[in-house]
Amino acid sequence: MMKWTAIQWLKTLTILLLVFLNGYLFYKLMPFIGGLLHFVLKVLFPFIIAAMIAYLLHPIVERLSREGMPRVLASYYYLCAFFRHNRCGFI
């Protein structure tokens, strides 16, 4: 096992101190930025979900596109199948 030098200890303790300081400041500022954070998360949530769905279905669409199916049709087909399977679509 390797011994830590004084510089390594100093770097580690500095990073830990900065992490705890950021957490404390966030905790103290939460009443002021809570409303803004709630609004931003409310607006960004659909975009985050859309990005996750696109990330999950990309390999399937890429494979169908390589096999000759037009990319738009492959995307439409798997999005419809995905939403019907999860019962949260309107199609």
Give the HSE-up count for residue 61: Cα atoms under 13 Å, Cβ half-sphere.
19
Q: What is the pLDDT of residues 32-64, one digit of tens each?
A: 888 888 888 899 999 998 899 889 889 988 998
What sections of the chain are H helices per DSSP? 6-66, 71-86
The answer on pLDDT for 10 being more than 60 is yes
End-to-end CA distance of the chain: 61
The answer on pLDDT for 87 being more than 80 is no
